[in-house]
Amino acid sequence: MIWVNAVIQGLLLGGLFALFACGLSLLFGVLGIINLAHGDLAVLGAYVAVALLPSVHTNVLWALLFVPPLFAVFGYVSQRTVMGRSMRSGPLTTLLVTFGLSVVIQNALLEGFSADSHSFTLGALTTRSLHPASDISLSWLRMGILVVAVLVLVVVQLFLSRTGIGRQIRALADDDEAAAITGVNTRHVAAIAAAVAFATVALAGLAFGTYAQFSPTSGSNLLIFAFEAVIIGGLGSLWGTLAGGCVLGLAQTIGAQIDPTFGVLAGHLVFLAVLAVRPNGLMPATVEA
Amino acid sequence: MSVPLLSAKGLTVRHGQLTALHGIDLDLAPGEVFAVVGANGAGKSTLLRTLAGLHPPGGRIRLEDVDITGLSPHERVRRGLVMVPEGRRLFRSLSVAENILLGTVCGRRGGWDLDRVLELFPWMRDRRRERVDHLSGGEQQQVAIGRALVANPRVLLLDEISLGLAPVVVRQIYRTLPTLLEGDTSILLVEQDVRQALRAASRFQCLLEGRTTLAGRPGDHTAEEVEAAYFGFAGTATA
């Protein structure tokens, strides 16, 4: 039963990783941007909630009302200004710009909030769990995060496949020049894709804050996990992102079951193995219906 | 000619050190089929891409007497300047119908819509939900044309629509040109296949290394003159 529990915990952890990786996958799949500030943006989202919620005891669900929308606006404006301009100078410039953004966010958070750790409360939900068998624990919080991750992926997928803007985003991902001469306002559509990606990053940041403690420098680790989930799943593939997150989660929890210090390393080793055997990931695809 | 529908004056395009177009002038009348011919590297596609807004040029471009030189590609589509690019450039993650409908995003209102495109190319009706990478080259070209038509263009820019297609398919596609001209649409087509282009066009312009070497009506010039302009020497074989 201990191993069954490890598998269950791995899948639940995979939900969090998939939520982190969703925005990264979308930005890469549509705009070709490797966003090195991704993890720091998630942490920034959590700190925006810290700053705007009336007290640390306020239920973090209230933050869902304003943090993702704020980040959507932030994503739109960033893409229309800094990132959009850097894209016109080439992929290396974009990489450097997002790296710079990462450094700025970390230092601004250290300046504004110090290096102290924070976490969010969801009331009793934070600690409650189901025990369907001995040695098996199903945390309501972790199940909730997995459900949110799946919902986010379903909504993003429906948005891309069923809406006019979604079709334009997919066209942009396929061929930006052809999209432009077909009549797609490429800058506006790219900014909408960035807005969606940033909103999901903010959501991931809030989820992480309920799951573990965070500090201004937590973003680097989150970026690595998100990257690994995206690459294991397949670059630009939303459902691959969920698969990648679950594989990474499974690797970490099973690794930790073998040896408590081996969990994170096991995840990195699986990531390297996937890169070596299937460099395009388990479900390689561009963003598609 | 009265006020041209599309006019380009002194178009110059540079790619780094290389000048791809040297001060090209071009006028397109309403309802006209105009062909730009030339060998590989003559600057034909660069000319069309510049008109579509993909290259910032020196010189001026006017559509219906309005200066559109500084407009982005989608703003040009909104004004009725629509391109069928070389190599089709369809969106492979979109279905046949989705590819065509994308042309309506910024297009003008008019007689062309998805249903009318399906009438023009009836095979699409049963295959509208298929992904475009399952189609043959000729079918893909027809989807690309359909995608441009639903934008209800005033000027349709056709870039090498015969490239890579079997002659029978090319003839099929060229047979649809009169239908495309309905509603006072003009066509500016770029071709390496000189015979095909000159059969379809009422006027033409030949480019060589980014310069105009010959222009006029197809009947006004002999095959030798066209060939000389095409290759840059006075040849004897038929063009």
User: CB B56: neighbour CB atoms within 10 A?
Assistant: 10
Placement of tokens 């197809």 in the chain = B218
Question: Between A and B, how many residue pairs show a Cβ–Cβ distance under 8 A?
Answer: 75
pLDDT tens for A245-261 read 999 999 999 999 999 99
Ranges of residues in chain A whose predicted pLDDT is under 50: 286-289
The pLDDT assigned to B239 comes to 37
CB contact under 8 A, A178 and B90: yes
Coil vs helix vs strand at A20: helix
- The pair phi, psi for residue B203, each rounded to 5°, is -140, 160
The pTM assigned to this predicted structure is 0.89
Mean pLDDT per block of 10 residues along chain B (239 residues) reads: 87 91 94 92 93 93 95 96 94 94 90 92 93 91 94 94 84 84 87 87 94 92 88 57
Nearest of A224, A203, A226 to residue A155 by alpha carbon: A203
The pLDDT assigned to A289 comes to 41
pLDDT tens for B114-159 read 999 999 999 999 999 999 988 999 999 999 999 999 999 999 999 9
CB contact under 8 A, B105 and A178: no
Nearest to B77 among A167, A170, A183 (CB): A183
CB contact under 8 A, A178 and B106: no
Coil vs helix vs strand at A131: strand
- C-alpha dihedral (A272, A278, A283, A287), degrees to nearest 10: 80
CA B229 to chain centre: 21
Task: Say yes or no: B147 contacts chain A, CB-CB below 8 A.
Answer: yes
Can you name the residues that pair with B58 across neighbouring β-strands?
A: B12
Nearest to B78 among A168, A173, A183 (CB): A183
Domains annotated for chain A, with CATH where assigned, are: 2-277 (1.10.3470)
A chain contacts of residue B105, beta-carbon cutoff 8 Å: 164, 168, 182-184
Residue of A nearest to B145 (CA): A182
User: Can you read off the two tokens belonging to residue A251?
Assistant: 């690797």
Task: Say yes or no: B90 contacts chain A, CB-CB below 8 A.
Answer: yes
The pLDDT assigned to B1 comes to 58
For A188, B162, B209, B227, the CA distances from B168, given in Å and listed in that order, are 41, 10, 31, 24
Distance CA A118, CA A258 (A): 30
Task: Tell me the DSSP string of chain B.
Answer: --S-SEEEEEEEEEETTEEEEEEEEEEE-TT-EEEEE--TTSSHHHHHHHHHTSSPPEEEEEETTEE-TT--HHHHHHTTEEEE-TT----TTSBHHHHHHHTTSS---SS--HHHHHHHSTTHHHHTTSBGGGS-HHHHHHHHHHHHHTT--SEEEEE-TTTT--HHHHHHHHHTHHHHTTTT-EEEEEES-HHHHHHH-SEEEEEETTEEEEEE-GGGS-HHHHHHHHHTS---S--
User: Can you read off the two tokens belonging to residue B41?
Assistant: 């590297």
> Are B81 and B157 within 8 A, CB to CB?
yes
Nearest of A197, A190, A150, A146 to residue A168 by alpha carbon: A190
Distance CA A87, CA A93 (A): 7
Distance CA A266, CA A256 (A): 8
Give the residue ranges of DSSP H helices in chain A.
Answer: 2-31, 38-52, 67-78, 84-88, 91-113, 140-162, 164-174, 176-182, 186-211, 219-233, 238-258, 263-277
> If you compute the radius of gyration of chain B from its CA atoms, what whole number of angstroms results?
17
Task: Say yes or no: B73 contacts chain A, CB-CB below 8 A.
Answer: yes
Residue of A nearest to B144 (CA): A182
Distance CA B148, CA B121 (A): 14
Distance CA A17, CA A281 (A): 16
Task: Say yes or no: B92 contacts chain A, CB-CB below 8 A.
Answer: yes
CATH homologous superfamily for the domain B6-230: P-loop containing nucleotide triphosphate hydrolases (3.40.50.300)
Nearest of A7, A14, A38 to residue A233 by alpha carbon: A14
Residue of B nearest to A182 (CA): B103
Selected residue of B83, B102, B132 to mutate for chain A interface (largest A Cβ count, 10 A): B102
Distance CA A207, CA A244 (A): 18
ipTM for the predicted complex: 0.90
Nearest to A289 among B93, B102, B148 (CB): B93
